[in-house]
Amino acid sequence: MADDTREGRVYIRSVVGADRREVLALARESRETHHPWIAPPLTAHMFRQYLRRIERGDHEGFAVCVKATDEIAGIININNVVRGSFLSASLGYYLGSRFVGNGYMVEALTLVKQHAFRRLGLHRIEANIQPDNIRSLNLVRRCGFVREGLSPAYLFINGAWRDHERWAAVDDRDTLSRTDTWR
């Protein structure tokens, strides 16, 4: 799957097994940047587990690629897709340290939002972010997400239960019928 746009500087595509070395190198070189917030795969075993997860029907993993070089700059995941009357999922993402500050993630997250709403038929996507992760909070705000509240002790990250702010984007198109919810 590729969501390419003519005007953007990045494109997204599905993560595949051949990406292992590049994804692991990106995660390792950005380890200090990501440590307080997430734990991306750092070993071949962890990458294989990640691939198995995104190959299931309720997860998708996207490589954020720089058009000029085809380098993988980051990863965005659509996690825990729930169908039925919920039509919702949560997001996880990270950008390699050397790519931070270029606006790449704003472009990529916008593409993933479009994919979630238009191709997956979701109504809602959430991003749960630790309150001190200012860059991530600014990202979702710039991408049109709305803060809904605080979830205390929401996720177990780096040895502790961490509070998270819950941000959501809702597809406001009135295109869903009752039968759409039972896919």
What is the per-residue pLDDT across 55-107, written as a single tens digit (0 to 9) for each?
998 999 999 999 999 999 999 999 999 999 999 999 999 999 999 999 999 99
- Tell me if the pTM is above 0.85: yes
Confidence class for position 176, pLDDT limits 50, 70, 90: low
Give the pLDDT score at 182.
44
Name the token pair of 130: 């630790």
User: Has residue 117 got a pLDDT over 70?
Assistant: yes
b/e per residue, 67-83, with b = 16+ CB within 10 A? eeeebbbbbbbbbebeb
Residue 59: CB atoms within 10 A of its CB come to 17
Residue ranges covered by each domain of the chain: 2-182
Confidence class for position 172, pLDDT limits 50, 70, 90: confident
Asked whether 90 and 120 are in contact (CB, 8 A), the reply is no
Q: Please state the rounded mean pLDDT for residues 139-148.
A: 98
Give the pLDDT score at 5.
52
User: Has residue 177 got a pLDDT over 70?
Assistant: no
Percent of the chain with pLDDT over 70: 91
User: Has residue 145 got a pLDDT over 90?
Assistant: yes
Asked whether 130 and 164 are in contact (CB, 8 A), the reply is yes
User: Has residue 125 got a pLDDT over 60?
Assistant: yes
Q: Which residues contact 95 (CB under 8 A, 6 or more apart)?
A: 30, 64, 73, 74, 104, 105
Distance CA 109, CA 114 (A): 9
Domain covering 2-182 in this structure, CATH number: 3.40.630.30
Q: Which helix (H) or strand (E) holds 127?
A: strand 124-129
Percent of the chain with pLDDT over 90: 77
Confidence class for position 178, pLDDT limits 50, 70, 90: very low
| pLDDT, tens digit (0-9, with 9 covering 90-100), for 20-44 | 999 999 999 988 777 777 777 888 9
User: Has residue 169 got a pLDDT over 60?
Assistant: yes
Give the pLDDT score at 115.
96
